[in-house]
Structure 1
C-alpha cells in the first residue's frame, strides 16, 4: 500500500477518534470547535456558541406532536357551504395552550399594560362587555360581573376581537421572555457577583472573560434562551389539535384507520364509559331553549360559559376544543382555502390567490374581504353540529361576541418532534 494511502487511513482514524470524543454534533452538543473550520468556539477569534438544552418551557403550553392527517368536514355539510373539503396535509409539531385564555389572564394583561402603556392602548384592550346585552333577555348582570367578579376568574374571556387577541399574544411573548431574562440575570449575578451588565474595573482579572460570558448569558434568539412568539394557531393547527387522532393511533401502524367527528371517540356528545357514562362532554346548546337541561338532572350544566377545565381534555390534553366558546384562529376566511393552500402547514393569509375583489361586499352580495377571520369549535350557544373541528365560520377581525374567545400557540423551534 502506498504511503499516501496509509496517511489517509491515519487521518480518517484520527477524525473518527475526535468525533467519538466529542460525540455526534447536534444543537445541544455543538462541540468545542467548528467541525468545518476547526476554530475553537467562545474565544477571542471564535464565534460565541452558548449552551443549549432545548426550548424553554412555555407557561400553559402543551406539546402537540405533528404528522400527516386528513383535515376537512367529517359529517354531512348541512350548510352546503362546501368550504372545508377533505384533503391530506402534514402539520409540524407545535405547542398550544391547554385551555382557553380566561378572565383572570386578561385582567392580568390589563393590570400590566395600564402601568406601562398609554391610556389609549389600555382602553383599546378592554373587552366589549356589552356583548352580553340582549334587548329581549335579562343578561344585564353579565355585562357588569362576567369579566371582573372573582367567581368568573377561570371562565373564558369573551368580547375580545381577533385584533385584541393578537395584541395579547404580543404582550404575553414579551412578558414571558422578560421573566426568562430575570432568571438569566439572577443566575449570572450569583456566578459573577454582579448583575448581567454590571461594570468591572479596568484591569480586573475577573473581567477578562466578562464579554464572552455576558454574550452567552444575554437573552437572544441565538442563545436559545427566549421563547418563540405566542400567537393564534393557524386553522389547520387548531383543527388537527382538536381532533387529537393520536389517541386512536396504534404504535407502528402508519395507517390512520379511525376518524373522529368530535375531539373524542364515538358519534355522540355523551360519555359512553365508566361512572360518568351519559354525561355530556362539552358545553353546548342541546336544542331550542335548552342550554343546560332540567334542574336536578342538568345535561352539560352550564347556562352560559363554564370554567376552562370543566370538561374532560382530549388526547393531547387540551380542554374545551369543542364547546364553551368558539376560538379565533389566524387565517383569513376564504371558501376555497382547502384547495388553494399548501399541503405542509397550510395557512391562508391576506392578498394571496382568491382576491377580495372577487367578492361583492360593497354591493352587499357577500360578507367576505381581507378583514374577516376564521373561528372554530362551537360554543355554549351553538348546537352540536358546530362542535366538529371540521366546521368553520368567520367574522370581522375587529368584532366581538359573547361566544368567541381564543387560546395561544407557539412553534416547536429547532425540532421535528
Structure 2
C-alpha cells in the first residue's frame, strides 16, 4: 500500500513540476512583448533613448489593444452567405447567394446625423477654408419637389435643433469619403493629445500624422464594404447554437418574416421606418405606427444583434463598392470588395481597375472604345467606374428594400433625401 502511495505521490509531483515549468515560460505577445528582442537579445526602450553603445534603442511602446473609437461597435467576423433572400422581382440577378468570409471589423452603431455633419462644417470652415466648406455642404434641395410642399425640410432639416439626431442626407458618396478622412484625423489627434508623449502631442496640435507604431491612434474611419454592411445588417450571430450551427436565416435584420415586433408591450409595432404603401408613410393620426413620415431619430427602433440601429429603413446607406451586376461571381470569397483601386499598392501586376473583367481596357490600362460590356459614352448603360452601391431601404421605400441583400447604385457625386451613411473601421492586429 505504501509503495503504491509513494509511486502515486511521485507521479503527482512530476506532473505538478511539469505544469509549473510550463507556466513559468511566458511567450511574448503584442500586449506583453517583453523587455528585449527574442532574436537579437538587445533591450527595447519605451522612450527611444540611446543605449550604452550610443545608438538609439528600438522603441516598443506600451500597448493595451486597439483603442475604442467613438460610436463604433465591434462586429465579429466569420462565414456568411451573402445574397438576396427576397424574390428577385426586378429580375436584376445582381446578388445571387454565395459563401464568403468577412473579417472582424467595427461599424458605427448609428447613421451619421445632422449634428455630426454640422460639427464637420464648423471645423472645415476654420481649418480648410471657404471653398472646402462650400464643397462639404449637403444639398438641401434634395427635399424639393415641384408638386409637393417640402419647403420646410429644405430650410430646416439640416440646421434646426429639433433635427439634430436625424440622419444627414443630401450627401454624395464623395462627400461621405471626405468626412471619413476628416473624422480619422480629428479622432486620432484627440487621442494623441490625451495619451501621447510630448513629441506626439506636439504633432497632434500641429495637425500632423501620428505614427501607427505608437499604439495610441486608430486605423482610418472609412465607408464599409458592401459585404461588411450586408453581413453586419443580418447579424446572424444571434441565431447561433451548438457548434457553428444556426437555427434559421433572416429576411430582415431581425427574427421572423414580419416587419412588426412579435414580443412584449411593443407587439405589433413596426421595426423600421419605411413606406407601407402608396401614399402611406406613417399610418393614421392618433396611432402613427412607424412614427415618421420622413426620416426618424437615429436611435429609433430596437437595434439588431450586433447593436446596430436602423440597418433597415430610415435612410439607405452608401458603401465603398463600385457597382457591377456580376460582382457576386467575380470577387474574392475572403473580404470581398470592388473598389476603384485607390487603396491598392502601386505594384503594376495588381489589377486596380474595377472594370478589368468587363473587357474595356488593354493590359496597360488604355480604354478600348465601344468594346466593353459597359459603355456609358454610347448611351447603352448607366454603369461605369463612378457609380457606387447603396444598401438598405429608406423612409421612402417599400418593404422589399428592407432586406439587406438588395442592392442599388447611384453616381458617386449625386445625392438624395433618402441616402445617408455610417462609417466602419478595420480591427487591426487581428487574424479573424
| TM-score normalised over the length of structure 2 | 0.84
Deviations 1:260-296 (A, max 9, x none): 0000001010001111000000000000000000111
Distance in 2 of aligned mates of 1:20 and 1:267: 52
Distance in 1 of aligned mates of 2:383 and 2:373: 9
- Determine helix, strand or coil for the equivalent of 1:385: helix
Distance in 2 of aligned mates of 1:137 and 1:360: 36
| Alignment pair present for 1:41 and 2:32 | no
Deviation for aligned residue 1:240: 0.1
- Determine helix, strand or coil for the equivalent of 1:366: coil
Contact 1:22 1:31 in 2 (8 A): no
4+ runs of 1 displaced by more than 4 Å? 16-22, 194-198
Distance change >3 Å, CA 18–CA 224, structure 1 → 2: farther
Contact 2:193 2:201 in 1 (8 A): no
1:394 counterpart (381, 406, 409): 409
| Alignment pair present for 1:288 and 2:299 | no
Which residues in structure 2 correspond to 1:332-411 (within 5 Å)?
Answer: 332-350=322-340, 351-352=353-354, 353-355=356-358, 357-411=372-426
Distance change >3 Å, CA 22–CA 56, structure 1 → 2: farther
Distance in 2 of aligned mates of 1:384 and 1:197: 52
Deviations 1:193-237 (A, max 9, x none): x99569xxxxxxxxxxxxxxxxxxx94211211100000000000
| Alignment pair present for 1:167 and 2:178 | yes
Unaligned regions of 5+ residues in structure 2, if any? 1-18, 204-208, 341-352, 361-371
Deviations 1:80-112 (A, max 9, x none): 000000000000000000000000000000000
CA RMSD of aligned residues (A): 2.0
- Determine helix, strand or coil for the equivalent of 2:409: strand
| TM-score normalised over the length of structure 1 | 0.87
Contact 2:180 2:221 in 1 (8 A): yes
Deviation for aligned residue 1:132: 0.2
Which residue of structure 2 aligns with residue 223 of structure 1?
214
Which residue of structure 2 aligns with residue 305 of structure 1?
295
Deviations 1:320-351 (A, max 9, x none): 00000000000000000000000000001232
Unaligned regions of 5+ residues in structure 1, if any? 1-15, 199-217
Which residue of structure 2 aligns with residue 29 of structure 1?
32
Which residue of structure 2 aligns with residue 249 of structure 1?
240
Contact 2:192 2:201 in 1 (8 A): no
Distance in 2 of aligned mates of 1:195 and 1:394: 42
Distance in 2 of aligned mates of 1:239 and 1:132: 27
Distance in 2 of aligned mates of 1:142 and 1:124: 20
- Determine helix, strand or coil for the equivalent of 1:349: coil
Which residue of structure 1 aligns with residue 3 of structure 2?
none
Which residues in structure 2 correspond to 1:135-214 (within 5 Å)?
Answer: 135-185=146-196, 188=197
